[in-house]
A = this chain, B = another copy of it.
Amino acid sequence: MADEKKQGFVEHITPRDVDFAQWYTDVILKSELVDYAPVRGCMVIRPYGFAIWERIKEALDRRFKANGHENVYMPMLIPESLLLKEAEHVEGFAPEVAWVTQGGGEKLQERLAVRPTSETIFCAMYSKWVGSWRDLPMKYNQWCSVMRWEKSTRPFLRTSEFLWQEGHTIHATPEEAQEETMQMLDIYREVAEDELAMPVLVGRKSDKEKFAGARATYSMEAMMQDGKALQAGTSHNFGTNFAEAYDIQYLSKEGKLTYVHETSWGVSTRLIGAIIMTHGDERGLKLPPHIAPIQVVIVPVAAHKGGVMEKCAEVSDQLKAAGIRVKLDDRDTLSPGFKFNDWELKGVPVRVEIGPRDLEKGQCVVFRRDTYEKQAVALSELSAALPVLLEDIQKNLYALADQFRQSRIREVHNMEELTQAVNGGFARAMWCGERACEDAIKEQTGATSRNMPFDQTPMGDTCVCCGRKAKHLIYFSKAY
């Protein structure tokens, strides 16, 4: 299989409008982002996929640290008794837990959960570490893998194990905790928009959809090309909910024992799935330049002709020196045409072609993956032109995604309109706030509530479902 490919077979990708799910699977496997592992529900992240994750991680980690967060590492095993302390939280996660019951050749006295998330262990440690108001806030984050048992496997979207970051912070006042919750949501939005070129809707989740144990959950929701929503990041305000269950108290300035206010927030390798389904096309991936592991690929044409390879290597060095992530494809057993397809499949934003005739003219051909446009560029101007082009591609990818999304969001006022809207898009609706209506909408249309935007300017007075007095503006859609 690997050998066939190297001999020049072009990979076949199912068109998006034939079968979107199959298109996704074709793209992630053929572009070599991931592979299935010989472990049920688990994925292997291959070098190209992991390199994307490293760039996302870097973009987030830099912002976390700039805002005073520090990284830590907590154990991956959590004793059952510790997990059981916050009732709502346990109920939410218990069905998904993988349990270690044997260790070192012996049956354990207590089952240990492979962390599905780490609130409980962060709480246990915060309870130990916090003394007085002087110790607050504590703003910690960890990068790790978590395990949530799944029946099916969709790499990056739904797997038993995935990689993520989880921030956990404690604060003296409810105001500070809320500010933190909002700040982290905003950092997620910024990274989604500026780095992943992915427009998102931010807002508050309904009580039904909030995190198990949170007072309030906020999310960012992105629209995939099939019109479904992908929850791409969440930020939770726990209030004193966990602090009371895990006894996290500090001595206030007034000498009074007081519960801390806590937040948590996370994004995961799901973001890679979001990038694929936001930007990809029939040829494969389209990576935003900011997070593309390779921003520019150089493909020699008639590489055996005098001077071509030398010039390609020289240009490669120049671009590298200009801070561009460049790759020279010097594989000698493959045709330029095969290489073109291969790098388009892998979503490299820009391709530079250099052949003997280009050399004569002192130029090269520059191809941009987002629009398929080709143009000749003087070699002497390439180092200056490419950073500008890459920024243009970054912006264009965002604009295209935003345009698509706008065209698929509909204001709806009754169930008939809602049903139509969520068939390939989002419905923007007024809602009474009752769980019963959310349940009814889910049952009738398959759509769930996504979030309530911060701008709550009403679209009307009545609930889209029950017709009674509306309380909230909210989005509904089918979701991943």
Contacts and interface: CB of A to CB of B under 8 A. Distances in A.
A357 interface: no
A105 to B, nearest CB: 6
B72 A131 contact: no
A54 interface: yes
Interface stretch (A73-81, A203-211, A315-323): A73-81
A416 to B, nearest CB: 38
Interface string A407-430: 000000000000000000000000
A38 to B, nearest CB: 5
Interface stretch (A96-104, A177-185, A194-202): A96-104
Interface of A is mostly: mixed
Contact of A35 (B37, B128, B161): B128
A95 B106 CA distance: 9
Interface string A148-171: 011100000000110100000000
Interface string A22-43: 0000000000000101110011
B35 A125 contact: yes
Nearest to A114: B100
A130 interface: yes
Copies in the complex: 2
A44 interface: yes
**Interface size class of chain A, counting residues whose CB lies under 8 Å from the partner chain:** 35 or more
A77 B98 CA distance: 10
A104 B100 contact: no
30 contacts: A2-B130, A2-B135, A3-B131, A3-B134, A3-B135, A3-B251, A5-B131, A6-B131, A35-B125, A35-B128, A38-B79, A38-B82, A38-B121, A38-B124, A39-B112, A42-B77, A43-B75, A44-B72, A44-B73, A50-B70, A50-B72, A95-B104, A97-B103, A97-B104, A99-B100, A100-B114, A101-B101, A103-B149, A104-B149, A104-B151
